[in-house]
Amino acid sequence: MAQVLSVKDFASTIQQAQHPVLIDFYADWCGPCKMVSPIVEELAGQYEGQLDVYKVNVDDSPEIAGQYQIMSIPTLMFFKNGVSVRTQIGFVPKPVLENMIKEVL
């Protein structure tokens, strides 16, 4: 299960990651976020050991959302070596997300 990151551990987590990182920016009230969440969780298990997956609640961590200019949710952001390399805004089906993961890996 993807761990929820807070402001205090966000930067160090993505900077020190041994693998590419997928951040799922979401909110509890967001319908499309609830649709993509089970897909993200499933892929987190499928790519365990190759991809680190975390979640950021934009209501609880507006500083992070602001830093990465998250204007719409869900936003899925991929990081490599602490740098954002790919962003997907809105719901996407599992095969599309899986192709993104393969590109980032």
Question: Does 33 qualify as catalytic in the annotation?
Answer: yes
In Å, how far from its chain's centre is CA 93?
Answer: 15
Q: SS3 of 14, please?
A: helix
Question: Does 74 qualify as catalytic in the annotation?
Answer: no
Catalytic residue from among 2, 22, 33, 56: 33
Catalytic residue from among 5, 21, 23, 30: 30
Query: 32 preceded by cis ω (within 30°)?
Result: no
The residues annotated as belonging to the active site are 30, 33
